[in-house]
Structure 1
Amino acid sequence: MHSIEVVLVMLLAVVASGYLTRVLPRWLPLPLPLVQIALGATIAGVFGQGVTLDPHLFFVLFLPPLLFLDGWRIPKTGLFRDRGLILQLALGLVVFTVIGAGLLIHWMIPVMPLAVAFALAAILSPTDPVAVSSIAARAPIPKRVMHILEGESLLNDASGLVCFRFAVAAALTGTFSLMSASLTFLWLALAGVVVGVALTIGINRGHALVSRVFGEEAGTPILISLLTPFGAYLLAEQIGASGILAAVAAGITMSYVELSGRALATTRVQRAAVWDTVQFSLNGIIFVLLGEQLPWIVERAVRSVREAGHVDPWWLAVYVFAIYGGLFALRFLWVWVSLRIALYRSDRQRRPSVRLVAAMSLAGVRGAITLAGVLTLPLLLDDGTPFPTRDLAIFLAAAVIILSLLLGSFVLPRLLRGLEVPEETEDDREFDRARHEAAVAAVAAVERAQHALPAAQANPDLYASASVRVMALYEDRFQREVRAGMDAAALRSADDAERALRLAGVHAERERIYELARHREISDEVARKLVHDLDLLEARYR
């Protein structure tokens, strides 16, 4: 029962965090993760102890669905367009960070062995997409930059964890083989991707085949989408591949499987709502758990430093700021060089904006992967002696997470203030073209249906008048597109005005339906169906 109560308390903390972020004043723009961390620390203080976090269980329960959803929803055009830069950040920057930050940590803290310093640097190298998205909600990060950051965070988890694994193995055994590490990384990456792609395609094709023969329940495809990332992760881990990359590859594959259009419209609407809830809940619990771990992490780090007698505990703060400064400097240098190379290859003879490079460096915040990974540090070496500076490494990792979130929350919005983003983007043009092509197809389908439907042949006048009304909607869209070339700004203003009026009408309809239901003039079932239709209309207009 205690476990159930703890879970319920954490979920209540997640709910409360959503309200607190809206209550906070504008001069204190704390992102959602920081509020959830504070609530988690409060829970640990009130109950006297936090949840005992099992890192392996954490990886299985939390990471697969979140990484799967990120891979599913990330824009693939931007991911493949900037694949060179993303791979440089996800692979090259990780290795660069492990070497640079590892040497810095060992130089500052000689009592920490070099292999342990490399392990700490490796687990600090992955960035957290959840925290970046939360900060981006309060900062005007350009879309392309955001897509690069999201793509990097999806891929650098695997590379960072692989480096972490080999650094820990070197600390345990005292040996390291570059050839073995390279071959192992290739196997982890390639096999993980193959498992994720193959399993997702196989599951969806099998489901489609069974559904055509026997039909399906409404919730079946939703449950299948929820179980797919866990299946990909566990199968990849079972064969010694990267479960994280398998979950990401499964999500990316799912976005292409979705293009088949087999899912019903109601299924897509319900599935999106379910996944939004899962994402919000899991993200919140992750950071609440981080907050619950903080009190004992700080206590054990201070105690271990005092017992070692090396430095005053206040030097821990110096170490944290120095490590974060080193991470920021390494990331800034790598991003600047990568952007310079990208601009040179595109024949744009100009230097990358220093402010943009600083923003991309500052947006590289750490989060759940770092905490869960560092907690997997073993307690003992192979010879039975305690793992050196384990508590200190855990504290430094947790403190860097907090510091990166704080600086990203307060500095990043000010750094990006006044950044000019073009109003007309490639996405807008693609959106307009898609709407035009869809309208053309719709008009043709209405004309065919007007003559092909059996009921239309029995009552041609009725269907003729109905087709006129339906096609009038698409004709209005064509006229809008013709006028768009003359005055795009005025047209968009008119669209905004029309949208506002339609929303006002939808709100009035819904209030009247609720009033009729309250007075029992219509049944609650009728009211629920009508309100559902109005909700879909409102979602469309918004």
Structure 2
Amino acid sequence: MLTVKVILLLLWLAAVSSLLVTLFRRQVPQPLILILLGVGAALCGVHVGLRPELFMFVFLPPLLFADAFRMPLREFNTLRGPILFLAFGLVVLNTLLCGYVIHWIMPFMPLAVCFTLAAALSPTDTVAVSSLISGRHVPVRLLQLLSGEALFNDASGLVCFRFAMADALTGEFSYRQAFSSFLLVSLGGLAIGGLMAWAAAKINHQLLRRGLEDGRSQIVFILLLPFLTYAAAEAVDCSGILAAVAGCMVFKLSGAIEEAATTTRLQANTVWIMISYVFNALIFLFLGLQLPSLLSSATMVMQMRDAALWQYGILVAEIYGVMLVMRLVGVWLCIGVRWAAARLRHRPYRATGFAASLLLTFAGVRGAVTLAAVLSLPAGLDGTDIFPAREAVVVIAAGVIVLSLLGASMAIPLCLRFIPPELVDTAALEENAARQKLMNAALDVLRKIQNATIEPETGPQDATIMAESQVRHDVAERMIRVYENRLDAESADLQIKDVDHTTAVRRAREELALRLQVLRAERQLMRTMVAQSEINDQTEWKLQQELDYEEQVIHFQSMRLPHEHLS
């Protein structure tokens, strides 16, 4: 049971995990550290029961909403074929084919139960995928493919899981009924999420038109939107996950974010970053808290079968190997279809190497969603029928989750070594080009103002008019110099491919280092002024915010530089 002390302990462990990641120089993924901390807390007597329905409702909607917001819609449209195949087609194939293979490995387990286990293991966990590849310089295209897949395959996997579980409990199953129900659940979730987000955007627009704008209220309403869409879809037996994803995408397209005030957007971004960080950490901590009891259950299950615990490990490795092979085949199938489509349409095709295929395969991590699904299987405690072989399904799923996390944490860095780095960062070039166009537009406006002449009229106000015109001219001239300097810097970035790449990156690094050195000197002088009572703490806070924003800009610019030159 969650208490205030347990919640505070979990939040403290989440903060400690970040310190440990920094201590280990990011060599150990944060999800593994969080799981180990959760295991340690469980061994020390902290016990938290995982209620699957509550877990799904609390954690999935905001995290999926945030991930969907970070997914660029243009790239999603470009990669919609592979994304939808991996998110829907591969999940269904995994459920069917891997279910038969699992039944062949464990013939004592009913086929419907094997389908249930395969369905629970089919979707990749969006939280686990995002956490494992966070901070790593994964090629943008692969990153977008993984992010898009993870947004949707939770829903398809849970729908398949629901049908397989019903088959195992009742023995009644119809492929036609399952397919129609699958379409109804999926399309219904998308429709409900989209309509609710559209209505929320319209309401927000009307409030802004009437002058009822309050940044804090807007942020709270946006935070509640994914929960509302999820709850509404689940209330009519549709996919709440797809409702949350669709709601975010419709809300982005509605323009409600652009209508908000600048301060509201900045505050909302900070709030969402903190929520994503805390919720991501809590998910893996909850997973670690369950592992000791699941390991005890695994020992009991193997003893009932007169088998040793190491045989359980082999069984888990076999099932995980089957899922890996199936996913690799699906990835190669996507690559083959894209190659054939490019050849037929006579379009250029960027080949996906073997290392990239392996990265996409191992990045299919199973996580807390899989655990919550298998824990939701009926245990017979409330008078309902117990799910056949429930304990075996739960412990096998937990083992595959841990093994997939371990495999991905070791395989992803290894695969990245063999993937050639992107010589041209298309996202950075696009960003620089757009910034250059914006500055040129600003310069056009300023030059028009500067060149504007006011014909003096006869009258007593001529001197005042001329003075105002001169002031406007001087201010425009000063701003033109500022924008021209910025434009020169951006133009130099765009010409980076025309000069020696290593030298250009070294110059960019040196400039950022000097700017940080200047900022440190300014901060030190500001602290001295506070100590000598030249300024008060409120003035210090305002100046500190300006320096923080400037340092944040430097941080974003440093992220655009190639990683291999920053070590």
* Same structural fold, with TM-score higher than 0.5 when normalized by the shorter chain: yes
Q: CA deviation at 1:196?
A: 1.5
Match of 1:43 among 38, 41, 44: 41
Find the residue that maps to 2:3 and give its secondary structure: helix
2:111 is the alignment partner of 1:114: yes
> Which residue identity lines up with residue 369 of structure 1 in the other structure?
V
Equivalent position of 2:419 in the other structure: 419
2:40 is the alignment partner of 1:31: no
Equivalent position of 2:525 in the other structure: 512
Q: Percent identical across equivalent pairs?
A: 36
2:485 is the alignment partner of 1:476: yes
- Contact 1:72/1:254 (8 A) holds in 2: no
CA distance in 2, matches of 1:426, 1:211: 36
Q: CA deviation at 1:538?
A: 1.4
Match of 2:91 among 85, 91, 94: 94
Match of 2:218 among 221, 233, 236: 221
CA distance in 2, matches of 1:414, 1:138: 15
Equivalent position of 2:262 in the other structure: 265
2:313 is the alignment partner of 1:317: yes
- Contact 1:73/1:255 (8 A) holds in 2: no
Instruction: Identify if the C-alpha distance between structure 1 residues 113 and 377 changes in structure 2 by more than 3 Å, giving closer, same or farther.
Output: same
Deviation string 1:328-377 (CA, Å, 9 cap, x unpaired) is: 01111111121011112112689752222122111111112111111111
CA distance in 1, matches of 2:212, 2:39: 49
Question: Can you give the 5+ residue segments of structure 1 that lack an aligned partner in the other structure?
Answer: none
CA distance in 1, matches of 2:472, 2:362: 60
- Contact 1:98/1:122 (8 A) holds in 2: yes
CA distance in 1, matches of 2:420, 2:41: 42
Q: CA deviation at 1:94?
A: 0.5
> Which residue identity lines up with residue 484 of structure 2 in the other structure?
E
Q: CA deviation at 1:495?
A: 4.1
**Greater Cα offset, 443-452 or 49-58:** 443-452
TM-score, normalised to structure 1's length? 0.93
Instruction: Identify if the C-alpha distance between structure 1 residues 432 and 514 changes in structure 2 by more than 3 Å, giving closer, same or farther.
Output: same
Q: CA deviation at 1:527?
A: 1.0
Find the residue that maps to 1:378 and give its secondary structure: coil
- Contact 1:172/1:381 (8 A) holds in 2: no
> Aligned Cα RMSD in Å?
2.6
- Contact 1:140/1:417 (8 A) holds in 2: no
CA distance in 1, matches of 2:294, 2:180: 35
Deviation string 1:311-339 (CA, Å, 9 cap, x unpaired) is: 33432111100000000011111111210
Instruction: Identify if the C-alpha distance between structure 1 residues 339 and 128 changes in structure 2 by more than 3 Å, giving closer, same or farther.
Output: same
> Which residue identity lines up with residue 96 of structure 1 in the other structure?
L
> Which residue identity lines up with residue 508 of structure 1 in the other structure?
A
**Greater Cα offset, 210-219 or 390-399:** 210-219
**Greater Cα offset, 491-500 or 90-99:** 491-500
Instruction: Identify if the C-alpha distance between structure 1 residues 108 and 531 changes in structure 2 by more than 3 Å, giving closer, same or farther.
Output: same
Question: Can you give the 5+ residue segments of structure 2 that lack an aligned partner in the other structure?
Answer: 455-463, 556-567
1:359-508 aligned at under 5 Å gives the runs 359-380=359-380, 385-447=385-447, 459-480=468-489, 484-485=494-495, 487=499, 489=501, 493-508=506-521
Find the residue that maps to 2:259 and give its secondary structure: coil
Q: Which has the higher contact order (CA 8 A, sep 6+)?
A: 1
1:37-436 aligned at under 5 Å gives the runs 37-47=35-45, 49-137=46-134, 139-258=136-255, 261-307=258-304, 309=305, 311-347=307-343, 352-380=352-380, 385-436=385-436
CA distance in 2, matches of 1:386, 1:259: 48
Instruction: Identify if the C-alpha distance between structure 1 residues 258 and 449 changes in structure 2 by more than 3 Å, giving closer, same or farther.
Output: farther
> Which residue identity lines up with residue 31 of structure 1 in the other structure?
P
CA distance in 2, matches of 1:266, 1:83: 34
Find the residue that maps to 1:219 and give its secondary structure: helix
CA distance in 1, matches of 2:288, 2:189: 31
Q: CA deviation at 1:427?
A: 1.9
Q: CA deviation at 1:535?
A: 0.9
Find the residue that maps to 2:215 and give its secondary structure: coil
Deviation string 1:144-183 (CA, Å, 9 cap, x unpaired) is: 0111011111111111000000000001110101111111
Find the residue that maps to 1:466 and give its secondary structure: helix
- Contact 1:115/1:171 (8 A) holds in 2: yes
> Which residue identity lines up with residue 201 of structure 2 in the other structure?
N
TM-score, normalised to structure 2's length? 0.89
CA distance in 2, matches of 1:413, 1:72: 26
CA distance in 2, matches of 1:64, 1:19: 27
Find the residue that maps to 1:364 and give its secondary structure: coil
Q: CA deviation at 1:508?
A: 1.9
Aligned residues: 537
> Which residue identity lines up with residue 217 of structure 2 in the other structure?
T
- Contact 1:127/1:364 (8 A) holds in 2: yes
Q: CA deviation at 1:306?
A: 2.4
Instruction: Identify if the C-alpha distance between structure 1 residues 248 and 403 changes in structure 2 by more than 3 Å, giving closer, same or farther.
Output: same
